[in-house]
Amino acid sequence: MKISIVLPAKNEAENLEGLLPRLLQAYGDQEIIVVNDGSTDATLEVCQRHGVRVVSHPYSMGNGAAIKSGARAASGEILVFMDAGGRRLANYFYNRLASVMTGHRIDDLTSGFRAARARHFRKFLYLLPNGFSYPTTSTMAFFRSGMPVAYVPIRAGVREGKSKIKVLRDGLRFFIIIIKIGALFSPMRLFLPVSAFLFTVGLAYYGYTYFQWERFTNMSALLFSSSLMTFLLGIVSEQISSLHYKGADDDRRQTVRREEE
């Protein structure tokens, strides 16, 4: 099967100068696409000098936007995305949180080194944000749709220059993104624990006020109402979430049928 290697790049001339010759030597017969995300350095000139295909954005639209542009432009059946990683401690935290959200063990959530069948990946392009969280969103989308996901160990070399990711700024952003993704892909795993917590607190507070003053207070009523509303919101969100994957079952069955044949 033909492979398309997609590299999002913003001011990565220094890295590409060393990377592109190695890629061309190893995979010169495959499609290599560099998505120039509004670079102001010599990124475009380096790509043109090495003769790789370039898709350019008129201005910086974000890492996720570059991934989407590359996926749309690629002609291969398999898409391989290469990107900068980083932040080991944060990665561990996000992996554990996403594992709880999806119900599957996730070993690597934020690394931009991904490979996927093009026809499957393109189904979820509209879900991908334009920022740095495309690996997070795509991984959880594959799990939610029942697509097989596997991990293999890789050795990442030391990058030239500084990473575009800032720990404090992007760390909080990643956390919010995972919560949003959890609400989109596995709503009841997010809403049900919150609902149960509110109900438990309401029940405990009601028990306290009843034994102290034999009263059912407004606070208890508010906590019980909040618990019920959160639970109902989770049910509605679960139904909305399922609409995103209407065609996933048919596509998965076709894939299994092809592999059996």
Residues 161-212: tens digit of each pLDDT: 555 555 555 666 666 766 766 676 778 888 888 999 999 999 999 999 999 8
145 and 200 assigned to the same domain: no
Residue 256 lies in a domain: yes
8 and 136 assigned to the same domain: yes
Give the residue numbers spanning the domain of 55. Answer: 3-165
Q: Domain total for the chain?
A: 2
- Asked which of 165, 199, 224 is the last residue of a domain, the reply is 165
pLDDT at 85 over 50: no
Residue 147 lies in a domain: yes
CA 196 from centroid of its chain's CA atoms? 28
128 and 91 assigned to the same domain: yes
The confidence score (pLDDT) of residue 55 equals 94
91 and 141 assigned to the same domain: yes
110 and 214 assigned to the same domain: no
Residue 88 lies in a domain: yes
Residue 65 lies in a domain: yes
pLDDT at 77 over 50: yes
10 and 64 assigned to the same domain: yes
Q: How many angstroms separate the CA atoms of 130 and 139, rounded?
A: 16
Average pLDDT of the residues of the chain: 81
